[in-house]
Amino acid sequence: MFVTAGCAGESPPTPTDPQLAEGQGIYQRHCATCHGVTGGGGSAPALAGRMTERFPDPADQLALVRNGVPGTGMRAFDDVLTPDELDAVVAYTRDAL
């Protein structure tokens, strides 16, 4: 379930689930610049609607976010985000984008 906030074209509605809401905030601060505010892509690939297909096992997606992908511009976030924050942003990109 989502609570709408802001005008159309801004950020997506805020999820009511606390973990997803936390993940959205982390996504907006650390990921949206490259992957787009709504996950539609930009200088980095689109994420919206693609994460569960690309990463059937959430642990694989978590490893990518934690460790980054050398040579692609996808930095590692293990030194920036706590384990709970990493879980939250992965959950958000899988379940809410």
The predicted-structure confidence for 14-71, as pLDDT tens digits, reads as follows: 999 999 999 999 999 999 999 999 999 999 999 999 999 999 999 999 999 999 999 9
For residue 32, the domain's CATH number is 1.10.760.10
Closest residue by Cα to residue 28 from 11, 44, 6: 11
Residue-wise pLDDT tens digits, 13-22:
899 999 999 9
The count of domains in the chain is 1
User: Across-strand partners of 41?
Assistant: none
Please check whether residue 21 lies inside any domain of the structure.
yes
Count other Cβ atoms within 10 Å, centred on residue 94: 20
Question: What's the domain range around 21?
Answer: 16-95
Each residue of 52-69: b (16+ CB within 10 Å) or e? eeebeebeebbebbeeee
pTM: 0.87
Please check whether residue 91 lies inside any domain of the structure.
yes
User: If 0-12 CB within 10 Å is exposed, 13-18 middle and 19+ buried, where does residue 3 land?
Assistant: exposed
Please check whether residue 37 lies inside any domain of the structure.
yes
